[in-house]
Amino acid sequence: MREQQMCNVVCRIRLDAQAAKEFKEKIDDDYRVNMILDDLPLVVPTRMHDQENSIVYQHGFRVGFKGQYAGSKEEKYFINNHLSFTVKFHKDPVTELARIVGFEVIPFSIKHEFDGEWGKKMHLTTCDPHSNTPQEVEDKEEIIYTYDVEFQESDVKWASRWDTYLLMADDQMHWFSIVNSLMIVLFLLGIVAMIMLWTLCRSKYNRLETQEEA
C-alpha cells in the first residue's frame, strides 16, 4: 500500500456494433459504476459553484457522457476509460499503522495511443488526463482502459470516515424531492379541507333554510 501508480493499463478492447450500441444505451440511461474498498463505497468529488466553493460527493462514476467537438453540432458518445483514484489513509500516531478513510475517483475519457507493438513493454504516449482527444464510442473503436492511484494522508480518523458520505449530492437531491413532495401533499390537503369546510357550511345553511320554511 501507499505506492503511487501512474497510467497502469488494465486491458484493450475493440468495440463491435452491438457493444457500441449497448454502451450508448448505458450512457443515455446515466449508468454509474460502483466500487468498494475496505467497505467504503467509491465517490466522485464535485466542487459546487457557491459562495463557499464547497465539495459534495456522488456515488460511483458515470460510464460515459455525451458531447460535441469544438465547431461541430453533431453529438457524440464518449466513454470514461481512465480512472484517477485517490485513497486517503489515517496513520495512528501510536501504532504507526495506516487505515483507509476515503476512496475517491475522477474519471476521464482519453483516446490512448502507444509506441511500438502492443505488449508488456509497450509505452503509452497519452497519459495526460486532461487530453483534448476523448475516447469515442463507435463501431470498431479501440479502447484502452487505464488508471492512476494516489495515496493521501488524511486527518480524518477511522471512527469518522463515514462523515464524508453525509455530504452526498445524490442524498441532497433525495431530501429536496422528499420535502418538495411533502409541500405538494400539504397544499393538496389544504385545498381538500377548504372544499370540505365549504360543503359543510353550505349544507348547514340549506338545513336552516328548510327549517325556516317549515
d(CA 12, CA 146): 9
- Say whether both 130 and 200 belong to one domain: no
Answer whether 88's CB lies under 8 Å from 102's CB: yes
Q: 55 and 126 share a domain? A: yes
Q: Is 88 in the same domain as 37?
A: yes
- Give the count of domains, the chain: 2
CB 105 within 8 A of CB 44: yes
Pairing of strands 98-108, 82-91: antiparallel
Containing structural domain, residue 40: 5-166
Region 89-96: mean pLDDT is 84
Q: Answer yes or no: do 161 and 78 share one domain.
A: yes
Residues 152 and 214 in one domain: no
Residue 21 has a pLDDT of: 96
Q: Are residues 179 and 146 in the same domain?
A: no
The verdict on 10 and 113 lying in the same domain is: yes
- Quote the strand ranges of the chain, DSSP E: 5-14, 32-33, 36-37, 40-41, 43-47, 55-59, 61-62, 64-67, 76-79, 82-91, 98-108, 114-115, 123-124, 142-153
Indicate whether 113 and 181 sit together in one domain. no
Structure confidence by residue, pLDDT tens digits, 6-55? 889 999 999 999 999 999 999 999 999 999 999 899 999 888 776 566 78
pLDDT of residue 132 exceeding 60, the answer is yes
CA distance 4 to 101: 17
Question: Could you tell me if 129 and 194 lie in one domain?
Answer: no
Q: Compute the distance between CA of residue 143 and CA of residue 23 in angstroms, rounded to an integer.
A: 12
pLDDT, residue 116, reads: 79
